[in-house]
Amino acid sequence: MKRHTYLTYGIFCHALFLAVYLYMAGFFGNILAPKTIDHGLPPGAEPTSTTAAVIINILLILLFVIPHSVMARPAFKKWWTRIIPESIERSTYVLVSCILMIILMWQWRPIGPTVWEVNEGPLHYILHGLFVFGWLMVPLVSLLINHFDLLGTRQVWLHFQGKDYTPLKFRIPVVYSSVRHPLYVGWIIAFWATPVMTVGHLIFAITSTLYMIIAIPFEERDLIQHHGDDYQQYKQQVPALIPGLTPRKNPAPKHT
């Protein structure tokens, strides 16, 4: 019975992520969503001053990024799995992240004025194309490393089969030989590529980008502890976010 429950829970968390991710694309792109980063107030909320809106939005961002980062650290996981079974730990992480992102989008306060607006010409279509590219890049990159492990579905499936979880081996699939964090690259493109950039959108783009840059050393410290010299050598050879930004001291790792 427990195996069926955990499997159902993991599938639900995975499906919730896909639904939230789809809505996020509409939210940040001002496409179809009833409330977006630039339009609409939370139900029942009154218009506020710009200062109050900035404070509220930054608090919403912190409400997401702090638990999202802390819950990913091994020390937290070691404590957390005393309460939450290991087989659903990742699914629970996904669930909490989804709930926090829903709260952020629900309570977000749009802030004008417009920083830039490109309504026509080649640049307009380039920005739209980059927006689509960024939002497609994130799930496609996750498939390269193991989308189902990243979202916890592999863990609950193994538990359902009565098998022990086996951590993923260190690999360098395709785009990872050019940048170490292509998922972050996809997110950055998705958040910055827009024909209409308002102050509110810019605040989110800047703070989320800073968060990812700050998170990289913590994430890589954990990866080095887990993968050892393999990741240390990889780190020395491949730039973090921008291809070709730093010269490679050794030959590029081979695709796997």
Q: For the chain, give the number of residues.
A: 256
* Residue located via tokens 């001053």: 49
Backbone angles phi, psi at 249, to 5 degrees: -80, -25
- Tens digits of per-residue pLDDT, 42-98? 888 888 899 999 999 999 999 999 999 999 999 999 999 999 999 999 999 999 999
Sequence-separated (6 or more) residues with CB below 8 Å from residue 249? 236, 237
**CA 250 – CA 236 distance, rounded (Å):** 8
Is the dihedral angle over the CA atoms 63, 180, 216, 185 positive or is it negative?
A: negative
Distances (CA, A) of 48 to 45, 60, 203: 9, 15, 17
Task: Give me the pLDDT at residue 194, please.
Answer: 94
In this prediction, residues 212-239 reach a mean pLDDT of: 92
As a whole number, the mean pLDDT across the chain is: 91
Predicted TM-score (pTM) of this structure: 0.90
Q: Report helix, strand or coil for 12.
A: helix
Indicate the pLDDT class of residue 120, thresholds 50, 70 and 90. Answer: confident
The predicted structure's pLDDT at residue 255: 47
Instruction: Say which residue the tokens 């689509």 belong to.
Output: 132
- Residue % of the chain over a pLDDT of 90: 77
Q: 250 falls in which pLDDT band (50, 70, 90)?
A: low
pLDDT of 148-188, one tens digit each? 999 999 999 999 999 988 888 888 988 999 999 999 999 99
Residue with tokens 């605040």: 203
Q: Pick left, alpha or beta for residue 215 (phi over 0 → left; psi -120 to 50 → alpha; otherwise beta).
A: alpha
Highest mean pLDDT among 44-48, 101-105, 110-114: 101-105
Using the CB atoms, write b or e for 4-20: b if 16+ within 10 Å. eebbebbbebbebbeeb
Q: Judge whether residue 207 has pLDDT over 80.
A: yes
Distance, in Å, from the CA atom of 100 to the CA atom of 67, rounded to the nearest integer, reads: 9
Question: CA–CA separation, 6 vs 89, rounded Å?
Answer: 10
Q: Which two tokens stand for residue 15?
A: 């499906």
Rounded mean pLDDT, 220-245: 90
